[in-house]
Amino acid sequence: MPKSLIDLKKEEKGVIISFNGGKEMSKRLMDMGIRTGKTISRVSSQILRGPVILSIDGRQTAVGWGMASRVMVEPARNGRGSGNSEYVDLKSGVSRDSTESRESFELRESGDSTDSGNSRDSDDS
Amino acid sequence: MRVLLMGNPNVGKSAVFSRLTGTHVLASNYPGTTVEYVRGSMKLADQTVEVVDVPGAYSMEPSNRAEEVAVRMLAGGDVIINVIDAANLERNLYLSLQLLQSGKPIILALNMWDEALEQGIATDTAALEKLLGVPVVTTCALTGDGLPLLKNRIAEARPGHLAIPPGQDLWQTISTVVGKTQKKPEKGPDFRQRLADLTIQPIAGPVIALLVLLLSFAFVALLGDWLHEEVMAELFEWLWMPVAVHISGALGQSGFMHDLLIGGLVDGTIDFEQSFGLITTGLYIPLALVMPFIFCFYLALSLLEDIGYLPRLGVLVDTMMHRMGLHGLSIVPMMLGIGCNVPGAMAGRVLETRKQRLITATLLAIAVPCMAQQAMVVGLLGRAGIAGLAIVYGTLFILWVLLGMILNFFFRGDTPEMLIEIPPYRRPYWKSLSKKVYMRMSGFTRSALPYVLLGVFLVNMLYSLGIIAIMSRIFEPVISGLFGLPGEAVGALVIGFLRKDVAVGMLAPLGLDPVQLIVASVVLVIYFPCAATFVVMFKELGLRDMFTALMIMIVVVVVVGGGLNVLLRTTGLF
Ligand SMILES: Nc1nc2c(ncn2[C@@H]2O[C@H](COP(=O)(O)OP(=O)(O)OP(=O)(O)O)[C@@H](O)[C@H]2O)c(=O)[nH]1
Ligand SMILES: [Mg+2]
């Protein structure tokens, strides 16, 4: 069930599914890489509605309480890998597992990226 | 040819700039260090090219002043070196794709390569080069690894050929690119990370912050005092006193030139603190009294900066700062302002709204004394015991908070919520740390020394022309009636327009009692910014807002100075 970032418990993970805020707010968040489909985990929060600190791709960002309350996340099921939808291979639409071999680096595609045009972000589901 | 260094905040653009040009600029471990572009030059195949360090930006649609500068700069660049944090490729590529769309020749510098390797991140740079269609070089600006190669390949910079299908979200393209080029090991927070995270937890965080601030304060006060007393004062006494005595004798111990160069003799001898000649007090104030404290302060501040503590401190004080119409990030201008109000006011550019910038600049100018001034106050008041100092600092802190709350109430406009990247803690690299402290020290001597000398020169002129005497008589009612100070204190207030440390120094020969010293110190902090601060305030705020700030200042100095005088006298605390 979706809940907002502030309802996430400390160290709990979730996938961002939507922003309940204005365009301005979501733009600022998106510019900093906080966007739908990303898996985040909550690092801490401050008392008296201070900023919420979240971790995304191993980097931390402090987000004001009000803003954080408008970021909706789907709590990640624990146990199953890590639910790191940030490594979605858009071509197949399948999450790449960390066990996948390094072979994937040999995927030398030409510069055109039209193949990703018909792919979908995993958050659509 | 003009080469622009562009990229997200805190990815090492300034560090790369210093490496490329040999011109050192400040690099610190928090986003928003560079708020104005800096030009330099480098040799490229026996051609001199211009290199520009540009403030960091997350996207080409700016959300603060510093980002606006970045967006404006783009049009004027011939080649762009897009500096990227290799350990955070995905987010960084968002700006890269926007830069690619500008059609300018681009070369990618995958900086912080050392950190990426340490974290076990595998990146296929050849694949990245192919996908984006621009050269990609890995660098570590801290050690200089990869920079010669970056320089060599600037000639290969070209507009990328990554075609983004119309209507497609940039992030989708980025996910594809990252998926094909980088692999990050999956790991949760380890012990070190958890320890680091303690500094931003609700209870441990503030406790640690208090300790850090107290330790820093003690470090600056104690080591600064030791350096002053045992090193600089001694040096002056041994090396400079004989020279000064000689000159004094040669000038016949009196006369206009003697008063100007040596100043007045106290009990027939030269007193470096009180004589007020150009080569006595004029040199003693900046070099022996102020410099030791400046050095200790910048050592402590630079250490906190390079480790990456400041943004965390910002997170902890965010709630309190919102009461004052600011948010946590304003702690950065405030901390810089404790060194010198000038860089403090400049750093206000990372704040998003006019209201925040106005409040920050006003608070800095009124309630945050610079280190030079503090050193003098500590020197003067410290002798009368710690209680006097505690009253001065306590008054200023309460004023800072209260005034912030009042300004928040009266200024229209809003304060956005805090949104800031918290960089990982980094091991300070002693070479860049010492370089930074050295830079700030030489910045101090270059800008302060001439002004201090000018100040001392003016003091002498005003005295010998009898202007101070006239002004004392005119302002006596206000100064003694309101603040309980002798009429001559007006001289200090006049010089305070120029340099506050000299102004505090002028109190020394007046023989003030402790209450007068406390009131005078506080009044000198509040009443008017020094000339240099005045200039940046005007540049950053504009005429109208600066005028507002000055009006507030006058009201505050009357209320606080007068109030403190009455309070201390009637309670008989001193
Ligand atoms: N480990 C490591 N640290 C680096 C490297 N390059 C820079 N740093 C450090 O990263 C921090 C940020 O560097 P800056 O040069 O200030 O970054 P910037 O991109 O100019 O930042 P803004 O001016 O805020 O946009 C500083 O503490 C640097 O010492 C690198 O290659 N490796
Ligand atoms: Mg910089």
Find the angle CA(B451)-CA(B455)-CA(B459) to the nearest 5 degrees.
170
Contact between chains at A28 and B201 (C-beta distance less than 8 A) = no
Nearest to A6 by CA among A59, A66, A60: A66
B107 within 8 A of B80, measured Cβ to Cβ: yes
Rounded to an integer, the average pLDDT of B547-570 is 94
Rounded to an integer, the average pLDDT of B400-418 is 93
Rounded to an integer, the average pLDDT of B111-139 is 95
Digit-coded pLDDT (tens) for B59-87: 999 988 899 999 999 999 999 999 999 99
User: Cα separation of B445 and B572, whole Å?
Assistant: 41
The whole-number pLDDT of residue A76 equals 80
Judge whether A102 is closer than 8 Å to chain B, CB to CB.
yes
Give start and end residues of each alpha helix (H) in chain A. 23-31, 65-68
Neighbours of B275 (CB within 10 A): 24
Report which of residues B405 and B267 the model is more confident about.
B405
Owner of token pair 């309670």 = B571
Contact between chains at A62 and B311 (C-beta distance less than 8 A) = yes
Q: What percent of chain B has pLDDT over 70?
A: 100
Distance from CA of B283 to the nearest CA of A (A): 46
Q: What CATH number belongs to B2-183?
A: 3.40.50.300
Q: Where are the domains of chain A?
A: 3-81+93-109
B315 within 8 A of B308, measured Cβ to Cβ: no
User: Cα separation of B181 and B174, whole Å?
Assistant: 11
Rounded to an integer, the average pLDDT of B103-127 is 95
Determine the distance separating the centroid of ligand 2 and the alpha carbon of B27, expressed in angstroms.
6
Give the closest residue (by CA) to ligand 1 atom 14.
Answer: B12
User: Cα separation of B57 and B396, whole Å?
Assistant: 35
Distance from CA of A2 to the nearest CA of B (A): 23
The atom of ligand 1 lying closest to the CA of B29 is: 27
Percent helix, strand, coil in chain A, to 5, is: 25, 30, 50
Pairing of strands A39-45, B419-422: unpaired
Distance from CA of A10 to the nearest CA of B (A): 10
Contact between chains at B90 and A50 (C-beta distance less than 8 A) = no
Neighbours of B451 (CB within 10 A): 18
Confidence band of B574 (pLDDT split at 50, 70, 90): low
The whole-number pLDDT of residue B170 equals 86
Amino acid at B266: V
**Cα torsion through B431, B434, B435, B437, rounded to 10:** 160
Confidence band of B572 (pLDDT split at 50, 70, 90): confident
User: Cα separation of B384 and B516, whole Å?
Assistant: 12
φ, ψ of residue A16 in degrees (nearest 5): -70, 125
Owner of token pair 């280190």 = B371
Mutate: best of B93, B170, B177, B422, partner A, most A CBs <10 A: B422
User: Cα separation of B326 and B360, whole Å?
Assistant: 8
User: Cα separation of B520 and B489, whole Å?
Assistant: 8
How high does pLDDT run on average in chain B? 93
**What pTM does this model have?**
0.90
Digit-coded pLDDT (tens) for B174-225: 988 999 999 988 777 788 888 889 999 989 999 999 999 999 999 999 999 9
**Does the CB atom of residue B114 touch ligand 1 within 6 A?**
yes
Confidence band of B19 (pLDDT split at 50, 70, 90): very high
B320 within 8 A of B256, measured Cβ to Cβ: no
User: Cα separation of B225 and A16, whole Å?
Assistant: 53
Residue B98, judged by CB atoms within 10 A of its CB (0-12, 13-18, 19+), counts as middle
User: Cα separation of B215 and B564, whole Å?
Assistant: 29
The whole-number pLDDT of residue A92 equals 39
Of A110-119, B122-131, B269-278, least confident by mean pLDDT is: A110-119
Nearest to A10 by CA among B334, B120, B194: B194
Judge whether A88 is closer than 8 Å to chain B, CB to CB.
yes
Give the closest residue (by CA) to ligand 1 atom 2.
Answer: B112
Digit-coded pLDDT (tens) for B350-365: 999 999 999 999 999 9
Domain A3-81+93-109 in CATH: superfamily?
Answer: Ferrous iron transport protein A (FeoA) (2.30.30.90)
User: Cα separation of B433 and B298, whole Å?
Assistant: 10
Q: Quote ipTM for the complex.
A: 0.88
- Mean pLDDT, chain A cut into blocks of 10 residues (125 residues total): 88 92 88 92 85 93 94 76 40 39 35 38 37
